């Protein structure tokens, strides 16, 4: 066998040439596989960094342009910039919060549809009262108008005597003043008990002073004591002072229909008739004006204006109380 043939048969199989060594600054040998892996990592890193750079560019352009509305940056996928932002948001898992930090916009306030907004609550208007009860009127006077004035007083002689004394006191005081000192009046006149007042002596004729002036003048005070005596006589004659008063109006209150306060009179023929009869019986300080004021407050006449909410209420109260009285008489 030739030498060439023998050498050829013992030679090792031909393999690929060894990879070329690449030297790093430290002199270490890096294989092709390691270099390939390194390049893949660098390429992957570059790919992940590109969206962040573009995202910053997009946010800077949006913030820098004041004419761009929020709707244009939050529209559908037709914009490539928006699709890029959506991709980054899906990768980070916190896209909405990042968008708010990057683009600098504040949270959008959602305004509900006007059709679902309930109308503002309308407070009920204040009740219409008589003209002399103004918004600045004394609260006691307003309550007196709403609860007592014009309400028929039946079978309550002590209440009727109290209202008669107040009607006499109107010559020296106003209703608000009288009502604010009502407790003093009641204490002074023994809670308006006619039998007790009829026993008053000179010592009882001294009244407390209001602003340096007596609660009632001596003339009015003596008239109250004398009227209490005549009051007891009427009770004996008619059974009650209530029966005596209501017989002048046939047990039916006079129902006026005044629209304006200037139409309300200070007296009427019926008041003049009652005044004459009372003075004939010995009552003092019971002129027609005093008697008419008494008729108004005791409900013998309904002088609430027809525009006042108490006008109809007093009429209903009148009908109810009169029917009750008639039933009691029949029984």
Query: Is 241 found in the same domain as 147?
Result: yes
Enumerate the β-bridge partners of residue 214. Answer: 209
Q: Are 77 and 83 in contact (CB under 8 A)?
A: yes
Q: In this predicted model, what pLDDT tens digit does every residue of 1-22 receive, in sequence order? A: 444 444 444 545 545 445 444 3
Query: Is 33 found in the same domain as 156?
Result: no
CATH number of the domain within which 316 lies? 1.10.340.30
Query: Is 152 found in the same domain as 253?
Result: yes
- Position 227 confidence tier, pLDDT thresholds 50, 70, 90: very high
Please give the backbone phi and psi of residue 109, each rounded to the nearest 5 degrees, phi first: -85, 125
3-class secondary structure, 24: coil
130 is in an annotated binding site: yes
Query: Is 300 found in the same domain as 226?
Result: yes
Enumerate the β-bridge partners of residue 210. Answer: 213
* CA distances, 209 to each of 37, 214, 217, 269 (Å): 113, 4, 10, 36
304 is in an annotated binding site: yes
Secondary structure letter of residue 130 according to DSSP: -
Query: Is 208 found in the same domain as 72?
Result: no
74 is in an annotated binding site: no
Q: In this predicted model, what pLDDT tens digit does every residue of 279-326 receive, in sequence order? A: 999 999 999 999 999 999 999 999 999 999 998 888 876 655 555 554
| Cβ contacts of 91-99, under 8 Å, gap ≥ 24 | 91/51
Q: How far is CA 298 from the centre of its chain?
A: 35
Give the number of domains in the chain: 2
3-class secondary structure, 191: helix
Strands 209-210 and 213-214: antiparallel
Mean pLDDT for the stretch of residues 198-225: 87
* CA distances, 257 to each of 109, 144, 147, 271 (Å): 59, 21, 20, 18
CA 119 – CA 23 distance, rounded (Å): 82
Q: Is residue 15 part of a domain?
A: no
Q: In this predicted model, what pLDDT tens digit does every residue of 255-292 receive, in sequence order? A: 998 999 999 999 999 999 999 999 999 999 999 999 99
Residue 254's domain spans which residues?
139-330
- Position 70 confidence tier, pLDDT thresholds 50, 70, 90: very low
């Amino acid at each position: 066998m030739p030498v060439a043939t023998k050498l050829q048969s013992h030679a090792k199989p031909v393999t690929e040439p060894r990879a070329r060594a690449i030297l790093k600054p430290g002199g270490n040998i890096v294989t092709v596989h390691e270099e390939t892996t390194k390049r893949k990592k660098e390429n992957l890193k570059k790919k992940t960094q590109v969206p962040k750079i573009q995202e910053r560019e997009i946010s800077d352009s949006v913030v820098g342009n004041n004419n761009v509305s929020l709707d244009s940056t939050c529209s559908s996928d037709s914009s490539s910039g928006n699709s890029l932002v959506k991709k980054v948001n899906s990768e980070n898992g916190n896209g909405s919060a990042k968008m708010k930090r990057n683009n600098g916009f504040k949270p959008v306030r959602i305004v509900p549809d006007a059709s679902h907004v309930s109308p503002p609550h309308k407070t009920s208007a204040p009740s219409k009262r008589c003209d002399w009860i103004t918004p600045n009127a004394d609260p006691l006077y307003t309550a007196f108008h709403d609860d007592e004035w014009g309400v028929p007083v039946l079978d309550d002689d002590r209440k009727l005597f109290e209202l008669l004394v107040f009607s006499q006191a109107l010559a020296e005081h106003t209703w608000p003043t009288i009502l604010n000192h009502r407790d003093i009046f009641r204490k002074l006149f023994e809670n308006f008990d006619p039998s007790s007042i009829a026993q008053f002596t000179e010592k009882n004729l001294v009244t407390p002073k209001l602003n340096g002036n007596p609660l009632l003048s001596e003339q009015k005070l003596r008239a109250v004591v004398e009227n209490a005596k005549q009051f007891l006589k009427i009770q004996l004659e008619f059974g009650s002072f209530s029966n005596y008063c209501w017989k002048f109006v046939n047990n039916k209150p006079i129902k006026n229909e005044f629209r304006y306060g200037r139409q309300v009179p200070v007296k009427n023929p019926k008041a003049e008739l009652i005044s004459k009869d009372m003075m004939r019986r010995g009552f003092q300080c019971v002129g027609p004006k005093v008697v008419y004021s008494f008729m108004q407050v005791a409900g013998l006449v309904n002088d609430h204006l027809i525009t006042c909410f108490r006008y109809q209420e007093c009429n209903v109260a009148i009908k109810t109380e009169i029917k009750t009285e008639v039933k009691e008489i029949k029984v």
